[in-house]
Structure 1
Amino acid sequence: MADEWPGVLLHPDFDPDFTGIIEEGMVLNVESLIAEAGSESIKLETQALVTATGAERLDSFPWEEI
């Protein structure tokens, strides 16, 4: 698990010393943290397989219907 490595940070938090590489065949968990200041939060997660032509979603949860 290694602290959920590799992390892909948003540009304000980008670490120029990051040496990780995302390669074809890897499976990534893509998380979104949703919250309002001073309130509870929720983390939404989906799995994606990295392919030669892009990403292929591996889960089947109907996010678009929520």
Structure 2
Amino acid sequence: MTAQQFYEYKRRRGCTDNITQNDNPDYSLPFYQEIFSLMESYIDYMTPIQADELIDESYNEDQNIHS
């Protein structure tokens, strides 16, 4: 499922009403493209390997350790 398909799925269930209540959204608009891009980036960000690396980086920063 793409970010756009997921958004459409949630929109039809009323989960995006606070974002927009447009019944006929034009997903080619920059507004939507930015939302989809952000959603896809979040998915990439939260992959297990990257999440582990981020935890390690945060820990090192907290300990003032720079690798």
How high is the TM-score relative to the length of structure 1? 0.24
In our comparison, the structure showing a higher alpha carbon Rg is 2
| Larger relative strand fraction | 1
